[in-house]
Amino acid sequence: MLNAIDLFAGCGGLTEGLRQAGFSVRAAVELDANAARVYRANHPRTKMVERSIREVDGKELLDAIPSGVCHLLAGCPPCQGFSSLRRLNRKRSVRDERNDLVLDFLRLVEEIRPVTVMMENVPGLTDYYLFKRLLRRLKEMEYKVDYKVLNVMDFGVPQSRKRLVLVGSRVGRLTLAEKGLAPRSVRQAIGGLVPAHDSSDPCHNVKRNHSIEVLDRMARTPIDGGSWRDLPEEMWLACHKKKDAGFHDVYGRMKWDDVAPTITGGCLNPSKGRFIHPVADRAITPREAALLQSFPSDYRFLMDISLDEIAKQIGNALPPKFSRHHGRYLKAHLNAAGYT
């Protein structure tokens, strides 16, 4: 069995994809206590290190692998300063101390010396000087590296979401594919669910306490792709009346036969994006958001925390189907090099 370690594990999206690809994820690191709880609920055999990555060393993670060989070290260092939502119209990144966590990813590569590495992140990271340092150091350690900005919808995930993917290997050259699977629609992902109020799934049978104004705005938004632009002007928000109004998708409905917009950490709140159900007068539920992220339908999320925190866990996760594709690619590469 090929062994992997998941850094910055969140609620387990990357691990789930690697598990589906045939890796045994032996250890994971996650600082957030509630995200770590969700991770443990779904991946109980993985050693969870619930601390800051800055306090973790490679030996502690390698100790979770009986053979002492890490075939894949993978992770997504938080780089919030480079996300499109944080940057808005700025040309430069937002200064955020988490931007430097890419160096801890590099440090653990140096300490563990895995056979292959994979890092997923926001596209804006490619212009960051620390990313260039990462590339330079990986090449010094004789990793053959490839990286591309890819859209997850081209790999069977039912949403549009661009991600930077970097892979590297000490045992041969790698070249990432531009596409993998045909896009899936919102209808294909969530159209078969029972109405939320009839569901026995606590992750789907969820009610939000919206104001009468918000309920009215959702009810009057045309089904299957309508937006605030379709409402009478007296219902427009003050920010929408500005000449260069941003966030055009807020209070918008998804379209049944298109991919969903990017599922963000605000995905359960209609004021944060195009997160109203295509036909129901409500925001999407946590289960619907998770399915649009390509999580399995039985993936467990803990409902004893706020919906905002659940939304953040789901929105921050790496889509498992996207990670599964790249995990399978790396597994085939390792198998060809004699690792099984």
| Domain ranges for the chain | 2-181+318-336, 186-316
Give the tokens for residue 173: 């050259």
- Return the sign of the alpha-carbon dihedral for residues 265, 266, 272, 278: positive
* Fold match between domain 2-181+318-336 and domain 186-316: no
For domain 2-181+318-336, which CATH number applies: 3.30.70.100, 3.40.190.10, 3.20.20.70, 3.40.50.150?
3.40.50.150
Tokens of 178: 């531009």
User: Phi and psi for 266 in degrees, rounded to 5?
Assistant: -110, 25
Report the alpha-carbon distance of residue 125 to residue 203 in Å, rounded.
33
Using left for φ > 0, alpha for ψ between -120 and 50, and beta otherwise, residue 185 falls in beta
- What stretches in the chain show pLDDT beneath 50? 84-90, 93-94, 96
What's residue 321's pLDDT?
97
> What pLDDT shows up at residue 245?
57
Show the tokens assigned to 314.
């789901």
HSE, CB side, 13 Å, CA atoms: give it for residue 321.
Answer: 25
* Predicted local distance difference test score (pLDDT) of residue 241: 63
Report the C-alpha gap between 176 and 146 in whole angstroms: 7
Residue of 70, 76, 79, 203 with catalytic role: 79
Tokens of 199: 């569901």
Residue with tokens 């792709």: 225
What is the pLDDT, as a whole number, of residue 86?
A: 46
Any residues with CB less than 8 A from the CB of 335 and at least 6 apart, and which?
Answer: none
CB 13 within 8 A of CB 74: no
Answering whether pTM is above 0.85, one says: yes
Rounded-to-integer distance, Cα 134 and Cα 104, Å: 10
User: For residue range 191-206, what is the model confidence (pLDDT) as tens digits?
Assistant: 999 999 999 999 999 9
Residue 145 C-alpha from the chain's centroid: 22
Please say if 76 is a catalytic residue.
no
The per-residue pLDDT for 286 is 98
Alpha-carbon dihedral of residues 36, 40, 43, 47, nearest 10 degrees? 80
The number of angstroms, rounded, from the C-alpha of 262 to the middle of its chain's C-alpha atoms is 10
Number of Cβ within a 10 Å radius of residue 209: 6
Per-residue burial over 139-162, b if 16 or more Cβ lie within 10 Å, else e, is eeeebbbebeebbbbbbbbbbbbe
Give the integer Cα–Cα distance in Å for 276 and 287.
Answer: 14
pLDDT at 82: 56
- C-alpha to C-alpha distances, 119 to 150, 204, 266, nearest whole angstrom: 13, 31, 24
pLDDT value for 100 = 85
The residues, ordered by sequence, that sit 6+ positions from 281 with a Cβ below 8 Å of its Cβ are 215, 218, 219
Residue 99: predicted pLDDT: 67
186-316 CATH pick, 3.60.20.10, 3.90.120.10, 3.40.50.720, 1.10.10.10:
3.90.120.10
Quote the pLDDT of residue 84: 46
Query: Which residue do the tokens 């994979």 mark?
Result: 118
Q: What is the pLDDT of residues 274-287, one digit of tens each?
A: 999 999 999 999 99
